[in-house]
Structure 1
Amino acid sequence: MRYEPGVDILADHSALLAIPAFAPAFAIVGVVVYIALRDRRAERRESTSTGQEDDN
């Protein structure tokens, strides 16, 4: 990259252009993690309630 006198480079826009590409990917990862955690909690609740019924 050449710097010329009198030219000020204020910002590189490549990061701004990458945001629309990565935002949906992060959203999808968030949804998948949320569903996985919810399923694990439900499975844990189900196994503890089933275990208590077997003991009685």
Structure 2
Amino acid sequence: MRYAQDVDVLASHSTLLAIPAFVPALAVVGVILGIAMRDRRAERREAEQSARDAVGTDARDREEN
């Protein structure tokens, strides 16, 4: 396909038709990444809390003995 010398083609017809396929796919990827990040943060908080509880329990056991 040849264009005139002074014509700038910004997007071809096939590119414009592909946009409706990519936008929902990117949205789905964004949602999945958001959920994964939220779950990892929650898991990290739970691990820190259980570590604090374990340290607190050990300290109380030592005080009782």
Tell me the TM-score normalized by structure 1.
Answer: 0.79
Runs of 4+ displaced beyond 6 Å: none
Instruction: Tell me how large the CA RMSD over aligned residues is.
Output: 2.1
- Equivalent runs, 1:1-56 vs 2, <5 Å: 1=1, 12-56=12-56
Q: Percentage identity across aligned positions? A: 57
Q: Which runs of 5+ in 1 are unaligned?
A: none
Compare the two structures and name the one with the higher helix fraction.
2
| Shift in Å, 1:43 | 0.2
User: Structure 1's 19 and 55: CA in aligned 2 closer, same or farther, altered over 3 A?
Assistant: same
Rg larger for: 2
Q: TM-score, normalised by structure 2?
A: 0.69
